[in-house]
Amino acid sequence: MATNDDLRNVAIHFRGVEWTDEEEDVLYRLFFDKCRAMVEISRPLVFNSMWNDLARDLSDALHKAFNKPKVRMKIYRLKHHFEAFDRFTNTRGVRVYPDDGMVTVNTTYWNNVGEETHFHTFFRLFGFKWYNECVDLFINLEAADIDFDDGPVDMLEDPIEFTDSDEEAEENDDHNVPGRKRYHPIDVEDYELENEPGRRRYYPIDVKDEEEHEMDRRLTLIMSLAISMGKM
């Protein structure tokens, strides 16, 4: 069973130790606003032209210096946070509520997942706030890949896997070390749990499961609030 420390460590994996909740929130709002105003966002040169402006706008908004590499890596974390959450929502018995990114689960979920990983627990309790925006940007609009070489080239491979063995929070973030060029995609394989080929994004729910999902949704909101207030 995941503890509060486990869940905080998962949050740090996705957010990064060098970002506060406020900084993250402001950055994401600026980022999605810029993306909505862009044309041909699926073109790498277009999508990757925003980083300097985004860093400047964030610096102005928060009265604190943010540079291009730091902002770009943060958006990269956002994308892979979304991809991990998206895999989780495709688990049988999971229902996602697009308006707020929260989820509920039913008995089908527990029968399929067995023992939850820390990531399962984190997503089940906290959902993903930016789910709607990410679906629209990365899936519907097919936004281009984030380019760390400042040119229209493919990302390097050799993914880093987030597993339950990562129990300690990162003390240092070396992504922005001068001269460092290899940025690795995050692959959370734990979420690929018996997904059916071609299955729709939102798993169909039987009518008899509706009350169970509603009850789980209420409990999830209560537990999330309690954890955030340090009462559990």
- 206 lies in a domain? no
Convert 71-130 into a string of H (helix), E (strand) and C (coil): HHHHHHHHHHHHHHHHHHHCCCCEEEECCCCEEEECHHHHHHHCCCCHHHHHHHHHCCCC
Q: Look up the domain containing 143 and give its range.
A: 1-150
The pLDDT value given to residue 215: 58
Lowest mean pLDDT, pick from 53-62, 134-143, 156-165: 156-165
Contact assessment for residue 205 and residue 134, using Cβ atoms and an 8 Å cutoff:
no
The pLDDT value given to residue 172: 40
- 177 lies in a domain? no
Position 123 confidence tier, pLDDT thresholds 50, 70, 90: very high
Question: What Cα–Cα distance (Å) separates residue 117 from each residue in 24, 99, 188, 193?
Answer: 25, 25, 11, 12
User: How large is the average pLDDT for residues 67-95?
Assistant: 95
- 36 lies in a domain? yes
- Rounded Cα distance, 202 and 232, in Å: 31
User: How large is the average pLDDT for residues 204-221?
Assistant: 53
**Averaged confidence pLDDT in the chain:** 75
The pLDDT value given to residue 217: 59
In tens, the pLDDT along 190-211 reads: 333 333 333 334 334 444 555 5
The pLDDT value given to residue 225: 58
Query: Measuring CA to CA, which residue among 112, 131, 138, 125 is closest to residue 191?
Result: 112
Contact assessment for residue 168 and residue 118, using Cβ atoms and an 8 Å cutoff:
no
The pLDDT value given to residue 170: 39
Work out how many domains the chain is built from and give that number: 1
The pLDDT value given to residue 221: 56
The pLDDT value given to residue 230: 58
DSSP character at residue 200: -
Contact assessment for residue 171 and residue 17, using Cβ atoms and an 8 Å cutoff:
yes
* Residues near 167 by beta carbon (within 8 Å), at least 6 away in sequence: 6, 9
- Rounded Cα distance, 170 and 53, in Å: 28
Higher pLDDT, 142 or 150: 142
Report residue 186: phi and psi, to 5°.
-95, 130
- 176 lies in a domain? no
CB atoms < 10 A from the CB of 62, how many? 14
